[in-house]
Amino acid sequence: SFVSASLQLESVKVPSMDAEHEECAAALLRLAQEGSPAALEGVLSCLSGHFAHEEALFEEYGFGAHKNERLSAKKTHAEEHQRILGKIRRQLAAPAGCVPAQFVREVLQDFHEHTSR
């Protein structure tokens, strides 16, 4: 299924990141199953913590740094984090009720692309 394919994770060879990706995948699976705002809150919480940790590691190890800011992999990756989190926050601010299935698919796709880069 689309859900299981989206949550099939490849190791990034950093145990703490792999563990966090698994935690986020579990939160996303709950969202796909429930479609509830509470499950989406769980995804936001998990991804927020994971993205912050990832960006701290980027700083610590100089990942993706480039003298020319426009060519910085770190900058574009961090911008992608903010795009995903912003999308989730906007959905949570919408009138309560079930989270639309299309939105869940988009977030699963975003996560899959995030873990594949």
Strand segments (E) across the chain: none
Considering all CA atoms of the chain, what is the largest pairwise distance in Å, rounded to the nearest integer?
Answer: 46
Q: What is the CATH number of the domain that holds 42?
A: 1.20.120.50
Q: Is residue 103 part of a domain?
A: yes
Domain tally for the chain?
1
Q: Is residue 33 part of a domain?
A: yes
Give yes or no for a contact between 51 and 14, defined as CB atoms under 8 angstroms apart: no
Dihedral angle, C-alpha 35, 38, 40, 41, nearest 10 °: 180
Q: Is residue 2 part of a domain?
A: no
Q: Is residue 104 part of a domain?
A: yes
* pLDDT digit string, tens, across residues 25-64: 999 999 999 999 999 999 999 999 999 998 888 888 766 5
* pLDDT digit string, tens, across residues 75-100: 787 889 999 999 999 999 998 789 99
What's the pLDDT at 39? Answer: 98
